[in-house]
Structure 1
Amino acid sequence: MTEPRWLDRDEERMWLAFLRMRRTLDVAIDGQLAEAGLSAADYDVLAPLSESDGQVLRVRDLAAGIGWDRSRIAHHLRRMEQRGLVARSGCRTDGRGTMVRLTEQGRAMITAAAPGHVATVRRVLLDQLDPDDLVRLTAIAERVVKVAGSAGTARTGGPT
């Protein structure tokens, strides 16, 4: 068996700093969204819906776009539908598919939450970066996402 490539001191420092950064970003964003009556998962669903043509998407496309599997998207959409934030319906072009639409209440919730959300993202992350940092961090994030591959890709397993 091959010996693991253990982290050296600098790599470990970076990894631990990255983990702390990710957690503190999550806490800041979760707190701001909670004040607006939404969870981060709600925002993950509402944002692409609010930006889509007609504020409607096929469930499988929404899931793939946000990196969720079929089970997670189905359960979360059910909860959001019960709260009046989204509505689901059958797909007109494919009887096996499901469409999800942003409701007036969902639109009102994301419209109210978005200014605070972007202000939080700016305050805790973007305002801490100079233009070169922004370019480098974007390139790093895109490389990591590409290498991680299917770990961030929804497994739809069907037409939903």
Structure 2
Amino acid sequence: MGAWRAFIDGSQRLMGILNRELQDRHGITTADYRILVMLSESPDGSVRMSDLADGVVSSRSKLTHQIRRMEADGMVTRNTCLDDGRGVLAILTEEGRRRLEEAAPTHVGGVRRYLIDLLDADELSSLERVFTKVDAAISGRSAS
């Protein structure tokens, strides 16, 4: 019970402060940030909406609302997937790339300050193993 409560309290506080820092300093949420990162890591800056939902661990419905808001803010656009005509692509705009580059030092600094720098190498390794195992069990993937 102690481990569970520490996880709940610590993870909620961590995500809360990371989100607050991004919102206060850059006007984006951690959800926006995760989407911008995933799009920026794609060779052409675009990802099918279904793949994006899987990658940021979101429902397709919730992601659609998120992308619609980000589109209104000029960070992304949407277009039909040329491969099959049925899928929809989310596409990173120059404004989205600029906002990501501006926000990255804040986010990375917060992750270091509130998590990475508090743990030694063994603790970080354990954390990675634990959450790789949890994610694999829930998602049905193997925990390599």
Calculate the TM-score normalised by the size of structure 2: 0.92
Aligned-pair identity (%): 40
- 1:105 aligns with 95
What whole-Å deviation, never above 9, does each CA across 1:95-139 have from its counterpart, x for those lacking one?
A: 111111111111110100001100000000000111111111100
Does residue 142 (structure 1) correspond to residue 132 (structure 2)? The answer is yes
- 2:12 aligns with 23
* C-alpha deviation, 1:146, in angstroms: 1.4
In 1, Cα distance between equivalents of 2:126 and 2:2: 19
Q: Secondary structure at the match of 2:44?
A: helix
What whole-Å deviation, never above 9, does each CA across 1:9-67 have from its counterpart, x for those lacking one?
A: xxx11111111111110121011111211011111211100111111111111111111
In 1, Cα distance between equivalents of 2:85 and 2:137: 35
The partner residue of 1:56 within 46, 49, 56 is 46
In 2, Cα distance between equivalents of 1:92 and 1:146: 32
Q: Which has the higher contact order (CA 8 A, sep 6+)?
A: 1
In 2, Cα distance between equivalents of 1:89 and 1:47: 19
For the pair shown, the structure with the greater C-alpha radius of gyration is: 1
In 1, Cα distance between equivalents of 2:59 and 2:87: 15
In 1, Cα distance between equivalents of 2:72 and 2:134: 36
Which of structure 1's runs of 4+ aligned residues deviate more than 3 A?
Answer: none
Does residue 42 (structure 1) correspond to residue 32 (structure 2)? The answer is yes
Q: What are structure 1's unaligned runs of at least 5 residues? A: 1-11, 151-160
* C-alpha deviation, 1:71, in angstroms: 0.5
Q: What are structure 2's unaligned runs of at least 5 residues? A: none
In 1, Cα distance between equivalents of 2:128 and 2:115: 12
Note the aligned Cα RMSD (angstroms).
1.0
The amino acid of 1:134's aligned partner reads: L
Report how many aligned residue pairs link the two structures. 139
